[in-house]
Amino acid sequence: MTRRTVELRNGLTITVDEYGEVDGAGNGALVLHGGAGPRSVAGLAAALSQHSYVVVPTHPGFDATPRPDGTDSVADLASAYLDLIEELGLRTVLVLGSSVGGWIAAEMGLRDNHDRISGLVLLAATGIEPEPPLQIADPAKLGPVKTGELAFHDPRLRPDPAALSDEQKAALAANQAALAVYAGGPHFCYDPKLRGRLHRVAVPVLVFAGEQDGIAPLEYERALAASFPRVTFHPVPQAGHFPHLEQPEAVLEAIDTFLDKPHQAP
């Protein structure tokens, strides 16, 4: 893995982690993290890089990266990452997004007027308004212990707040603050109008749902999947909000199957 910064045409600077070898044909994958930060998708990116060039941008404001005042919405990030893949010379890109990263990926699919995106893979994604009694859990309100219980099926993977240093606690708080900028407010982690637009996403979409996800529940993900015209819905047993961390082999196998499958428009 190598890390560098890329300056976009509008002057925004993005920190990116790059995995694998650059494909001379312009093929690659873009992996978008959620509120847990880029480390939460590093393993997935490394696994994908066995067969592809993979880029993981850090959303401005996360992990102590700078965030200009004018970059403060999911739509801003979606537009920035479309600029990023052009800046990197990528012509055919699979976009994968975890949690709020999946919302950003969906917004990219709606805005991709240069037809760079070949497909979307959404991992426990947020973005659409939950239908009551469903709701998206807010880690800032729950606290770290309860959040860990809802996010991970396997107790061994739940972070222990007592084991964190003051520096790590400060970094987590800063990431939560950055998440609140992009996805907070009265509609935490969703846009009430998004679901009505997703029928315009033309590329095939794979939606993963952790069957034990207490952050974005299974039925929420099922509703999200139903919003796309060309979709594969894949529940993952014994997984919470990070199916790619709890069941990595099952997730990678499903992605391989998705990429090999001929997708026909309805």
Question: In the structure, what pLDDT confidence band is assigned to residue 263 with cuts at 50, 70 and 90?
Answer: low
Mean pLDDT of the chain: 94
Question: What are the phi and psi torsion angles at 249 (to 5°)?
Answer: -65, -40
pLDDT at position 193 over 70: yes
Report the C-alpha gap between 259 and 96 in whole angstroms.
12
pLDDT at position 173 over 60: yes
Q: What is the DSSP letter of 190?
A: B
Give the dihedral sign, CA 70/71/72/75.
positive
Give the pLDDT score at 162: 86
Q: Which domains does the chain have, with CATH numbers?
A: 2-260 (3.40.50.1820)
Nearest to 256 by CA among 94, 17, 81, 40: 94
Kindly give the residue spans of alpha helices, DSSP state H, lying in the chain.
Answer: 42-48, 74-87, 100-111, 139-142, 144-151, 166-183, 218-226, 243-246, 248-260
Question: In the structure, what pLDDT confidence band is assigned to residue 262 with cuts at 50, 70 and 90?
Answer: low
pLDDT, tens only, 73-101: 999 999 999 999 999 999 999 999 999 99
pLDDT at position 16 over 70: yes
% of the chain residues with pLDDT over 90: 87
pLDDT, tens only, 97-154: 999 999 999 999 999 999 999 999 999 999 999 999 999 999 988 999 999 999 999 9
Contact 224, 251 (CB under 8 A): no
Nearest to 243 by CA among 139, 159, 124: 124
Contact 38, 17 (CB under 8 A): yes
Give the pLDDT score at 161: 86
